[in-house]
Amino acid sequence: MRKTSFIGGMKENFPSGLVVFLVALPLCLGIALASGAPPLSGIIAGIVGGLVVGTISNSNVSVSGPAAGLTAIVLTAIKDLGAFELFLCAGIIAGLIQLILGFIRAGSISNYFPNNVIEGMLAAIGIIIILKQVPHALGFDKDYEGHESVFDNGLNFGYFTELFGAVQPGAILITLVSVAILITWDKVYALRRIKMLPGALVAVITGIVLNEIFKMAGSPLAIRSQHLVSLPVPQSFDDFRNLVTMPDFAGFANPKVWIAGATIAIVASIETLLCIEASDRLDIQRRITDTNLELKAQGIGNLISSFIGGLPMTSVVVRSSANANAGATSKMSTIIHGVLLLICVLSIPVVLNLIPLATLAAVLIMVGYKLAKPATFRHFWQLGKFQFIPFVATVVAVVATDLLKGVGIGLGISVFYILQGNMKRAYYLSRKELDDADGITIRLAEEVSFLNKAAIKKTLKNIKPNSTVTIDARGTSYIATDVLEMIQDFANIRAKEEDITVELLGFKTSYGDYERDEDSHILVTHRRAM
């Protein structure tokens, strides 16, 4: 595998870290506002998510921070407990529970999330991002940043009348200019080569400059302060210290604190595992994250964040997607975003408060489009109804309800279709058998569903470099897309990097809808000299 030096990793990942920082800043503030917590608590969670979780986790593209999916739980808990200081004790309890979950290896449940449900979740998040950012792009910022409920305002004409009545031409102009810059930066080769100057940063700088010109000219296009980033600006060390809230440890004697902590731990852990599975799909190198280590990292992060006045956190799809789309190659990008959040709080909040929310909306709209592009829907349509229906059901359910409910509905439909087939366990080799074998043969069962993914993934993960592997599917009539893509990634990426000789036998060109194609083809054969 290619090794990257610390300096090289910094240089490669600074642009993506900067993009994630720009996306995370308003989200951290907006989620704190939505949660009824002090504004700085969201930034603290973002800093800890970048520096602490980013350092401990071995995920290469996921980004942790305050999550919109926890806002309702946090808001309710703070109201019930009567003080944010007491709520921080619940965050500490949640962190401890997540540590325990990591040590008892509960992260393995992520292996049972089918890819069509994960991809449906990503597409739904993309649609939600676009729908939630359109008001900001038009200059209407009544709805706070970072809240992911699309129908929170209801489907009433009053909301839309208010929305279009509050449109600001200046915001629309800055949004259009920002989108044009982002598209141009991705398309023009000469601009793409300026890696240390990402398109998102150029768009943000352009948005600031345009708005300042409008202000100096007294133009009606000037964007008012309520439509700009709003970061607290401490004037002295005492002001900064007053922004930080410490936990009231008397809360540990309150049963409600323990209930809130357990609830946060369960929801945050499930959301994290979903995001990690999605992040591994977004990683172009298809590296596999240790989910048990991730739970431990999240637990330590929530402990530290709660001790210093921060919100609870999870691995977050929006920021992770922005990170992957910006070209992150390692977790250095996540750490850089945490460093930038820390620097901005300590030194440059005045400059950041000049950024129009319309510019950041443009950045997020582009992220949303890449997650929910039409090609993804066409891809699952071509795979047949057994893949397409759970995918679309997940998209609709997540957009209409929330992430956990939507994924639960999609998973239920996916399992229903799987149970219609004859589920058989795929062939599995133990680590000892892999160590002792000179040549490894893996014969797949007649039908291989996503429920078999964990066993096959563990087998492939245990195969040592310089091995010879034959994966035999000549007696297999159906292979789930999840498993098929995992085998392809192993043969085409990891095998090349680790000098593993791979031969895939009997794989068909299509496995749509459990229909058997009598013509058997070799999907791919990869051989290397020993």
Which residues fall within 8 angstroms of residue 102, CB to CB, at 6 or more apart?
292, 293, 294, 295, 296, 297, 298, 299
How many other C-beta atoms are found inside a 10 Å radius of the C-beta of residue 10? Answer: 16
410 touches 120 (CB < 8 A): yes
Q: How far apart are CA 440 and CA 469, in angstroms?
A: 5
Distance, CA of 223 to CA of 154 (rounded, Å): 27
What is the end-to-end Cα distance of the chain in Å, rounded? 17
pLDDT tens-digit series, residues 47-95: 999 999 999 999 999 999 998 778 878 988 999 998 999 999 999 999 9
Interacting residues of 414 by C-beta distance below 8 A, sequence separation 6+? 114, 116, 117, 390, 450
224: left (phi over 0), alpha (psi -120 to 50) or beta: beta
> CA 91 to CA 111: how far, in whole Å?
27
d(CA 442, CA 504): 10
Tell me the pairing of strands 501-505 and 468-472.
Answer: parallel
The per-residue pLDDT for range 271-305, each reduced to its tens digit, is 999 999 889 988 888 888 999 999 999 999 999 99
Which residues have C-beta within 8 Å of that of residue 135, sequence separation ≥ 6? 141, 142, 143, 163
CA distances from 450 to 62, 116, 318, 425, 479 (A): 23, 10, 25, 10, 8
The per-residue b/e assignment along 275-299, b for 16 or more CB within 10 angstroms, e otherwise, is bbbbbbbbbeebbbbebbebbbbbb
Residue 58: DSSP 8-state:
-
- Of 258, 218, 329, 337, which Cα lies nearest the Cα of 89? 258
Give percent above pLDDT 90 in the chain.
32
pLDDT digits (tens, 9 = 90+) for 320-342: 988 998 888 899 999 999 999 99
Q: How many whole angstroms separate alpha carbon 74 and alpha carbon 83?
A: 11
Cα 29 from Cα 44, distance rounded (Å): 10
451 close to 424: Cβ distance less than 8 angstroms: no
Say which residues have a Cβ less than 8 Å from residue 193's Cβ, sequence separation at least 6. none
pTM above 0.75, yes or no: no
> What is the pLDDT, as a whole number, of residue 419?
67
What is the C-alpha to C-alpha distance for residues 244 and 44, in angstroms, rounded to an integer? Answer: 9
| CA dihedral for 292, 294, 298, 304, sign (positive or negative) | positive
CA separation for the pair 200, 182 (Å, rounded): 6
Rg of the chain (C-alpha set)? 24
d(C-alpha 356, C-alpha 223), whole Å: 7
Which residue, 383, 380, 420, 424, is CA-closest to 510? 383
What is the SS3 string spanning 458-503? HHHHHCCCCCEEEEECCCCCEECHHHHHHHHHHHHHHHHHCCCEEE
Residue of 273, 365, 268, 276 whose CA lies nearest to 314? 268
User: Counting beta carbons within 10 angstroms of the beta carbon of residue 142, is it exposed (0 to 12), middle (13 to 18) or buried (19 or more)?
Assistant: exposed
Which residues of the chain are modeled with pLDDT < 70? 1-8, 141-166, 186, 188-197, 232, 234-241, 243, 419-438, 512-530
**C-alpha closest to that of 264 among 77, 37, 402, 109:** 77
Hey, how many other C-beta atoms are within 10 angstroms of the C-beta on 333? Answer: 30
pLDDT at 434: 57
Is the Cβ–Cβ distance between 412 and 113 less than 8 Å?
no
d(CA 89, CA 254): 10
Instruction: Kindly state the DSSP code that residue 228 receives in the 8-state scheme.
Output: B
All domains of the chain, ordered by start, with CATH? Answer: 6-361 (no CATH), 373-420 (no CATH), 431-526 (3.30.750.24)
The answer to whether 473 and 504 have CB atoms below 8 angstroms apart is yes
Q: Are 398 and 125 in contact (CB under 8 A)?
A: yes
pLDDT of 131 reads 85
In the three-class reduction of DSSP (H, G, I as helix; E, B as strand; rest coil), residue 530 is classed as coil
**Among all chains, which residue has been given the structure tokens 């279009």?**
164
pLDDT at 94: 96
